[in-house]
Amino acid sequence: MDLRFRGAQPSQEERAAVDDLLGPPATAWEGGARTELDLRMAARAEEARDLLLPALHAVNDRIGWISEGALEYICRRLTIPPAEAYGVATFYSLFSLEPRPQRVLHVCTDLACQARGAQVVRDRVEERFGPPGKDWHESPCLGMCERAPAALALEAGQPHRAEVYAPATPETITTITGAAPRANGHAPSLEVAGETPVKEAVPQAGEPGLVLLRRIGVVDPASLDDYRAAGGYTALRRAFELGPAGVIREVLESGLVGRGGAAFPTGRKWEAAARQPDHPHYLVCNADESEPGTFKDRVVMEGDPYALVEAMTIAAYATGCAKGYLYIRGEYPRATARLQHAIATARSRGLLGDDILGKGLSFDIELRRGAGAYICGEETAIFNSIEGQRGEPRSKPPFPVEKGLFGKPTVVNNVETLVNVLPILERGAQAYAAAEPKLFCVSGAVERPGVYELTFGTTLRELLDMTGTTGTTRAVLLGGAAGAFVTELDIPLTFEGTRNAGATLGSGVVLVIDDTVDLRRLLLRIAEFFRDESCGQCVPCRVGTVRQEEALHRLSRRVDDSDLVLLREVGQTMRDASICGLGQTAWNAVESAIDRLGVFNR
């Protein structure tokens, strides 16, 4: 490619950050020193566009922001046009292309936190640090809803660090010094400052009968031996006995459907991918858990990381993938660290790599971090993000099983979906199906928030009995920002049951709203969320989410029927004509609040 550079130079530190990731440049044309040979012949550089996101992280992690010199250097190294790299870097909210402090505080103002007093925290932060944008940002859901309200400090450096404040109170904010959080051992650290043990997020921890959560809080998440002693890797052995087709048959029979929200039968997806003649096949684990109010995948990854590694290995075996990508959201430092550790350990012990368990299976996992974009959890946007493109959803068809990552057949599954494969193989499809487990993320006005494991069919009321509620429950938001408010508590928590109630199970969000919560303010926050997170690709969503927010602002001041009509028309158009699920669902919660909660009744 005949790239044109404006001539900005990277600092030594920026260059080192990139070179630590990519190794030294191979030729003068990629940013190295000019040699005789370079001036006589040059081969096309290897395609490495997919390393753009990791390279941007490398600089942002080390320096705190990405200068033009650093971006040009990345572009030279990876043969990427600077305008394109700029377009990608500006897509992600965790990157800055302007100078900013090394340490930046992300204060969650999203639904679960708002239901628990985030506004006071936010205001206190503004009082201390000034207006948002430099030292601190308002953040979409950080996935720490069980400890709401939450805040997360990210600090650039070598190593870069994170510190969690959850629950963050005006008092804890007052104690934030702005200094570096204390160092917590050598990198990669498995702990993050301010974090609490994972089991505190699992009120049922240690209870007998748990399936998906049985090891959480029980085994040491860093120890492969602990994992194996607690039943780890028996499912993979069983998979080898069954063979790839047998595994798919078992998953089909279990009736497992995707837990990411769309509820597509996992076995059918695997079967379709396995059949594709085009190779290679890819596996993508969607760990970009970003739906407001959702934190179950984080808890599983932090508490039982090897389970995910094993489950991915089984999925790869069944569908013929030699490579898997684990795409994890950028706001999950502890889950990232623990999974990196688990992957490295599994690799060093022959459980990833060539000839796994001596069965001739070759499979490895590459972890990729998101950088603050909800849309990247969409199953095709995640491919673009991994490939180093802007994380915009693709048109379907073609579907991922035909043309997915790098244009090849791809299986993309959510974390919870994958870990369900372990009990299916350990117990057999029938036994599994007889008591199919489902995780719920309970937050808001409850006594014991956290991740709960239930068998399908439990009613919402039964769940709330377990968690206990506080105040007067006014409504429950099921399924997150893309879900719907319900007031009826006797609905069974199944895909069908919630659908019949005009709601959705979605990602398992159960956010309890009591009468102290300003519903109009909550709706505005939902609208803000969609406006912020719309990728901007299609008109209904790009402009529709803005018009929805504007109308809600007007309605919170004064209820006008024409605005309600407008909301409905814009909402229906977003639902009908948007490219992806983000736009299609951006009106759901608002609609249910108007229709069921009478938010704008006069």
Partner 1 sequence: MIPLQPPRRLIDVQIDGEAVRVPEGSTILDACQAAGKDVPTLCYGDTLTPKNACRVCVVEVEGARTLAPACSRKAEAGMKVGTDTERARQSRKVVLELLGSSTDLSTTPRAAEWTAEYGADPERFGDDAATVAQPAKVDNDLYVRDYAKCILCYKCVDACGEQWQNTFAIAVAGRGFDATISTEFDAPLTDSACVYCGNCVEVCPTGALSFKTEFDMRAEGTWDESKQTETTTICSYCGVGCNLTLHVQDNKIVKVTSPHDNPVTKGNLCVKGRFGYGYV
Partner 2 sequence: MSYDRLTHPLVRENGVLRKASWEEALERAAEGFRRNIERHGPDSFAMLSCARSTNEMNYIGQKFTRVVIGTNNVDSCNRTCHAPSVAGLSAVFGSGGGTSSYQEVEDTDVIVMWGSAARNAHPIFFQHVLKGIRKGARMFAVDPRRTGTAQWADLWLGLNVGTDIPLAHAVAREIIHAGLHNEAFIERATVGFEEFRQCVEPWTLTAAEQVTGVPAEAIRELAHAYARADRAQLCWTLGITEHHNATDNVRALINLALLTGHVGRYGSGLSPLRGQNNVQGGGDMGAIPNRLPGFQDLLDPQIRERFESVWGRPIQPSYGRNLTQMLEGMAEGEVTACYMIGENPVQSEADSLACIKRLSMLDHLVVQDIFLTKTAQMADVVLPASAAWCEADGTFTNSERRVQRVRKALEPPGEARDDIWIMCEIARRMGHDWHYDGAEEVWNELRALSPQHRGMTYERLAELQGIQWPCPSEDSLEPPYLHGRLWESDPAKRGTPAPFAVLRHSPPVDLLDEEYPLRLTTGRRLDSYNTGVQSSGFASPLRRGETIEMCPEDAEKLGVVAGEEVRISSRRGTVTAPVYIDPGLRPGLVFMTFHFPDEVDTNALTIEATCPIAGTAEFKAAAVRVEKLVKAG
Site of interaction with partner 2 (CB under 8 A): 1-3, 28-29, 34, 37, 39-44
Region binding partner 1 by CB under 8 A among candidate stretches 109-117, 121-129, 247-255, 526-534? 526-534
* Contact criterion met (CB below 8 Å) for 433 and 253: yes
562 binds, among partner 2, partner 1, none (CB under 5 to 8 A by kind): partner 1
399 binds, among partner 2, partner 1, none (CB under 5 to 8 A by kind): none
The answer to whether 535 contacts partner 1 (rule: CB under 8 A) is yes
Q: How far apart are CA 481 and CA 218, in angstroms?
A: 32
Q: How far apart are CA 39 and CA 28, in angstroms?
A: 9
Q: How many residues bind partner 1 (CB under 8 A)?
A: 53
The answer to whether 543 contacts partner 1 (rule: CB under 8 A) is yes
The answer to whether 129 contacts partner 1 (rule: CB under 8 A) is no
Which residue's CB is nearer to partner 2, number 35 or number 516? 35
* Contact criterion met (CB below 8 Å) for 120 and 91: no
The answer to whether 4 contacts partner 1 (rule: CB under 8 A) is yes
Q: How far apart are CA 478 and CA 506, in angstroms?
A: 7
Q: How far lies 127's CA from each of 115, 124, 233, 474, 586, in Å? A: 21, 5, 52, 32, 32
Q: Which one of 19, 84, 226, 488 is in contact with partner 1 (CB under 8 A)? A: 84
Which residue's CB is nearer to partner 2, number 77 or number 122? 77
DSSP 474-509: EEEEESGGGSEEE-----BSSHHHHHHTT---TT-E
Identify the helix (H) or strand (E) that includes residue 285: strand 281-287
Which residue's CB is nearer to partner 1, number 94 or number 312? 94
Instruction: Give the number of other Cβ atoms within 10 Å of residue 283's Cβ.
Output: 29
| Cβ at position 84, least distance to partner 1 in Å | 5
At 384, list the tokens.
């673009």
* Contact criterion met (CB below 8 Å) for 539 and 128: no
Q: Could you tell me how far CA 398 lies from the centroid of its own chain? A: 24
Which residue's CB is nearer to partner 1, number 53 or number 150? 53
Q: How far apart are CA 9 and CA 302, in angstroms?
A: 39
**Cβ-proximal residues to 208 (8 Å cutoff; 6+ apart), any chain:** none
Which residue's CB is nearer to partner 2, number 25 or number 232? 25
395 binds, among partner 2, partner 1, none (CB under 5 to 8 A by kind): partner 1
DSSP 416-428: HHHHHHHHHHHH-
82 binds, among partner 1, partner 2, none (CB under 5 to 8 A by kind): partner 1
* Coil, strand or helix at 513: strand
The answer to whether 559 contacts partner 1 (rule: CB under 8 A) is no
57 binds, among partner 2, partner 1, none (CB under 5 to 8 A by kind): none
| Cβ at position 72, least distance to partner 1 in Å | 8
Site for partner 1 in 91-110 (CB under 8 A): 91, 93, 97
Q: How far apart are CA 369 and CA 332, in angstroms?
A: 9
Q: Which one of 65, 86, 129, 406 is in contact with partner 1 (CB under 8 A)? A: 86
Region binding partner 1 by CB under 8 A among candidate stretches 36-44, 111-119, 376-384, 537-545? 537-545
Which residue's CB is nearer to partner 1, number 93 or number 380? 93
Strand order in the sheet with 161-165: 136-139, 103-108, 151-155, 161-165
Which residue's CB is nearer to partner 2, number 1 or number 179? 1
Region binding partner 1 by CB under 8 A among candidate stretches 14-22, 304-312, 449-457, 578-586? 578-586
| Cβ at position 213, least distance to partner 2 in Å | 49
| Cβ at position 3, least distance to partner 2 in Å | 7
44 binds, among partner 2, partner 1, none (CB under 5 to 8 A by kind): partner 2
At 100, list the tokens.
């900013």
Q: Is 588 exposed, middle or buried (0-12, 13-18, 19+ CB in 10 A)?
A: buried
Which residue's CB is nearer to partner 2, number 41 or number 179? 41
Nearest-CA neighbor of 433 among 256, 207, 168, 181?
256
Identify the helix (H) or strand (E) that includes residue 574: helix 561-577
Q: How far apart are CA 560 and CA 456, in angstroms?
A: 42
Please report, as a single letter, which amino acid is at residue 417.
T
| Cβ at position 532, least distance to partner 1 in Å | 7
Q: Give the angle 577-596-602 at the CA atoms, nearest 5°.
A: 105
Which residue's CB is nearer to partner 1, number 1 or number 41? 1
Q: Which one of 169, 566, 591, 597 is in contact with partner 1 (CB under 8 A)? A: 566
The answer to whether 1 contacts partner 1 (rule: CB under 8 A) is yes
Site for partner 1 in 352-381 (CB under 8 A): 373
Q: How far apart are CA 425 and CA 431, in angstroms?
A: 10
39 binds, among partner 1, partner 2, none (CB under 5 to 8 A by kind): partner 2
Show the site string, 394-413: x = touches partner 1 by CB under 8 A, - = not: -x-x----------------
Q: How far apart are CA 302 and CA 304, in angstroms?
A: 6
Q: Which one of 517, 538, 586, 599 is in contact with partner 1 (CB under 8 A)? A: 538
Nearest-CA neighbor of 109 among 142, 146, 153, 155?
142
| Cβ at position 554, least distance to partner 1 in Å | 8
What 3 state SS string does 347-404 have? HHCCCCEEEECCCCEEEEEEEEECCCCHHHHCCCHHHHHHCCCCCCCCCCCCCCCCCC
| Cβ at position 45, least distance to partner 2 in Å | 10
Lookup result for tokens 């959560």? 213
Site for partner 1 in 413-442 (CB under 8 A): none
Tell me which residues touch partner 1 (CB under 8 A).
Answer: 1, 3-4, 6, 68, 71, 81-88, 90-91, 93, 97, 373, 390, 395, 397, 531-540, 542-547, 550-551, 554, 562, 566, 569-570, 572-573, 575-579, 584
